[in-house]
A and B are shown apart, each in its own frame.
Chain A
Amino acid sequence: MLTGERRATARAAAASPVGRPGGEAVLVPGDADLLKMLHFMKLTRALEYRIERKLYRQGKIVGGVYVGRGQEAISVGAAMHIRRGSGEEHDDIVSPSHRDMAVFLMQGVPPERILAQYMGRKTGLTRGRDGNMHMGDLRHRLIAFVSHLGDSIPVAAGCALTLRMRGTDQVSFCFFGEGATSRGDWHEGLNFAAVMRLPVVFICNNNQYAYSTHVSRQMRVERVSDRASGYGIPGETADGNDVLAVYDAVGRAVARARRGEGPALLEFVTFRMTGHSAHDDAGYVPKTLFEEWERKDPIRLFEDELKSRRLVDALALKEMESGIESELDEAVAWAERQPYPEPEECLTGVYHE
């Protein structure tokens, strides 16, 4: 169970970056980027709300639902640094995990395709062959993960190996949760990337629970980033509910990777504000923790920050929200109109045809 000491550690980790390399300037996004970040955090929250709280409860989602509520700052802050839209020879490559909805959206996957995916429709990213966040599309430079969390780490390293062979400054982004760091593949992949000094940035969403298992049962070290020293690479822990802290840490690691300085392990401490999936009421999580982390909601904190900078006001926020809601109204309607795959499609596409 979560000890008082551990809670204090998590708070301390969240309060100030640990392991931040000296001499690196803090990266600060411009005003347009700040608004973009807020937009994608809110779009992510709203889309996942529709999926988890509406469509799932209406029986319109085929299988499980895994959302990243309360963790949006990590995917958004990190994905701001993914280079995209300039062709295969320049764009970065991304291996997201199951709490990274924002990464899909920011890579250009339309919400309606994601909804169709969740509903098992033919126009979902996997054409009904796989469900929920198990999706990818190389046109969006997104690699689909598998349920065996941790498998993506060697794969992301292999992408980075290719980028190194080609001598480009592209970077491989690899997202995972703290639970995945217990898998053997995770360790093999980090070591492989470290030994070969590959341009890959490992981004850990430490939401403190892997299904019902607290992080204290995943590892003996205090921080996921402590594991970096075992591979001889930089490790850094920052507040995962502060999108600006995420933006800063990821941006610096990406810059190093682009310069050929090898991989880094970044840990962002946050909290899973839901159960593992929609069917899980998370009764094993002390209620006080939800209350504590609710006060640190990344979207509200960021809104307050932008209000204090006079970049948004109540009216602007309302407009942003209503724009998102009408976009999602249309997306849901579109997805519900989509056909299911034909049964015989089961047999196709196992091999190159």
Chain B
Amino acid sequence: MALTTYVEAIRQGIWEEMERDQRVFILGEDVGVYGGAFKVTEGMLERFGDLRVIDTPISESAIVGAAIGAALLGMRPIAEMQFIDFISCAFDQITNFAAKNRYRWGAGVPIVIRGPSGGGVHGGPYHSQNPEMYFVHTPGLKVVAPATAYDAKGLIKAAIRDEDPVIYLEHKYLYRRIKEELPKEDYVVPIGTAAVRREGRDLAILTYGAMLYHALEAAETLAREGGIQAEVVDLRSLLPLDKDTILGAAKKTGKVLVVHEDTRTGGIAGEIAAIINEEVFEYLDGPVLRVTAPDTPVPYSPPLEEFFLPNKEKILKAARQLAAY
């Protein structure tokens, strides 16, 4: 069977939605003639024409603002940020217009804002960021971050069909490094559902995005070397969080380690720790620990970036510390 890469899964998801629904269109920088900086939109201009695959000026605020206007008139726009770092230029449109519209006057803004996030490819401070928490802190938005090709396709479809604005974070490190067989039939991955990627009773590692693979490797090592069975949960959706799965893992194992590539202060790990404390404190056998990037910009040079990013060894160290409780 043919294997589908993560980037191709995103492309397929968008393509199929554009075939299914005339209201779906994509706009962004270099998405048309060039097919997108990472080729997510390759071939779409030829198939769907320049009114549905729109090359825009370098104007993230206008890209998102125009998407909002189109959505208010019944369209289903997908706004591409060439690198997710540039989403900061559209921050106001996203947080003040898109996010608050429905609450203020009942007009929903069904837009998808998507783009490549994350480090590990030596992109430096402006091509490696993880901006999720700016948006997780904004009521009215949804934020998803797929880690597998299956989820990449299922979540982009769910995002396009959603009635509210969705920030869809694709991890550029995974674009061509992972592949899997995908179902032929149409499917969606519901927003707000986590996935248990590995069963275990001794501790739970909660993570998302590219960190999933480091967590899974660490879990294998823990099992092999110390007989520690770690449960690994792929959050997939950061807003809303799948509280049931998170709390279930905490209750089952009593020990929770949260791993994210995002920086430490104000990262989702702090929020998850607070939820676990509030709701299932009596089940805990140890503190909720975090493995995260430090509170710095994402550095460029390989030794610096390697130091910055969480990895298997850092996860193992924290997991062993937690297992000892």
Residue contact A350 to B103, C-beta cutoff 8 Å: yes
Q: Which of A159, A184, A185 contacts B69 (CB 8 A)?
A: A159
A72 to B101, CA, bound (A): 27
Of B54-62, B169-177, B224-232, B291-299, which binds chain A? B54-62
- The reply on A224 being an interface residue by CB < 8 A is no
Residue contact B107 to A151, C-beta cutoff 8 Å: no
- The reply on A171 being an interface residue by CB < 8 A is no
Proximity string of chain A (130-151) to chain B, C-beta cutoff 8 Å, 1 when within and 0 when not? 1000111110000110111001
B71 to chain A: which residues have CB within 8 Å? 158
Residue contact A136 to B57, C-beta cutoff 8 Å: no
A-B contact count (CB 8 A): 133
Shortest CB distance B103–A (Å): 5
Of A162-170, A202-210, A320-328, which binds chain B? A162-170
Shortest CB distance A64–B (Å): 16
Of B72-80, B254-262, B263-271, B309-317, which binds chain A? B72-80
Shortest CB distance B74–A (Å): 7
Residue contact A192 to B59, C-beta cutoff 8 Å: yes
Contacts A146-B96, A184-B61, A349-B102 given; indicate if A162 touches B74 (C-beta within 8 A). Answer: yes
A130 to chain B: which residues have CB within 8 Å? 104-105
Residue contact A161 to B104, C-beta cutoff 8 Å: no
Residue contact A185 to B93, C-beta cutoff 8 Å: yes
A191 to chain B: which residues have CB within 8 Å? 57, 59, 62
Residue contact A125 to B92, C-beta cutoff 8 Å: no
Residue contact B66 to A126, C-beta cutoff 8 Å: no
- The reply on B106 being an interface residue by CB < 8 A is yes
- The reply on B6 being an interface residue by CB < 8 A is no
- The reply on A180 being an interface residue by CB < 8 A is no
Residue contact A352 to B164, C-beta cutoff 8 Å: yes
Shortest CB distance A285–B (Å): 29
- The reply on A332 being an interface residue by CB < 8 A is no
- Which residues of A89-148 have CB atoms within 8 Å of chain B's CB atoms? 93, 125-127, 129-130, 134-138, 143-144, 146-148
Closest to A166 in B: B73
Q: Which of A157, A159, A172 contacts B62 (CB 8 A)?
A: A157
B97 to chain A: which residues have CB within 8 Å? 146, 148, 151, 155
Q: Which of A129, A137, A146, A188 contacts B103 (CB 8 A)?
A: A129
Residue contact B107 to A136, C-beta cutoff 8 Å: yes
B68 to chain A: which residues have CB within 8 Å? 154-155, 158
Q: Which of B65, B75, B139, B140 contacts A153 (CB 8 A)?
A: B65
Shortest CB distance B217–A (Å): 36
Residue contact B65 to A189, C-beta cutoff 8 Å: yes
Greatest chain A CB density within 10 A among B74, B77, B97, B140 is at B97
Residue contact B61 to A148, C-beta cutoff 8 Å: no
Residue contact A154 to B66, C-beta cutoff 8 Å: yes
B105 to chain A: which residues have CB within 8 Å? 125-126, 129-130, 135-137, 144
Shortest CB distance A149–B (Å): 11
Q: Chain A, interface size: which category?
A: 35 or more
- The reply on B42 being an interface residue by CB < 8 A is no
- The reply on B100 being an interface residue by CB < 8 A is yes
Residue contact B104 to A138, C-beta cutoff 8 Å: no
Residue contact B73 to A144, C-beta cutoff 8 Å: no
Closest to A95 in B: B69
A157 to chain B: which residues have CB within 8 Å? 62, 65-66, 69
A164 to B50, CA, bound (A): 12
Shortest CB distance B82–A (Å): 15
Residue contact A192 to B62, C-beta cutoff 8 Å: yes
- The reply on B70 being an interface residue by CB < 8 A is yes
Residue contact A185 to B73, C-beta cutoff 8 Å: no
- The reply on A160 being an interface residue by CB < 8 A is yes
A93 to chain B: which residues have CB within 8 Å? 72-73
Contacts A129-B103, A165-B51, A349-B102 given; indicate if A154 touches B139 (C-beta within 8 A). Answer: no
Residue contact B100 to A146, C-beta cutoff 8 Å: yes
A192 to B57, CA, bound (A): 7
Contacts A144-B104, A151-B97, A350-B102 given; indicate if A188 touches B57 (C-beta within 8 A). Answer: yes
Shortest CB distance B11–A (Å): 22
B77 to chain A: which residues have CB within 8 Å? 158
- The reply on B36 being an interface residue by CB < 8 A is no
Q: Which of B25, B101, B163 contacts A144 (CB 8 A)?
A: B101
Shortest CB distance A209–B (Å): 23
Please name 24 pairs of A and B residues whose Cβ atoms are closer than 8 Å in the assembled complex, sorted by A.
A125-B105, A129-B104, A136-B107, A143-B107, A144-B104, A144-B105, A146-B100, A148-B92, A148-B96, A151-B92, A154-B93, A155-B66, A155-B68, A155-B69, A157-B65, A159-B72, A163-B73, A164-B51, A185-B61, A192-B57, A349-B106, A351-B163, A352-B102, A352-B164
Q: Which residues of A contact B (CB under 8 A)?
A: 93, 125-127, 129-130, 134-138, 143-144, 146-148, 151, 153-165, 172, 184-185, 188-189, 191-192, 195-196, 349-352
Q: Which 10 A-B pairs have the closest CB atoms?
A: A154-B65, A158-B69, A158-B66, A352-B163, A188-B62, A188-B59, A159-B69, A192-B62, A155-B69, A154-B62
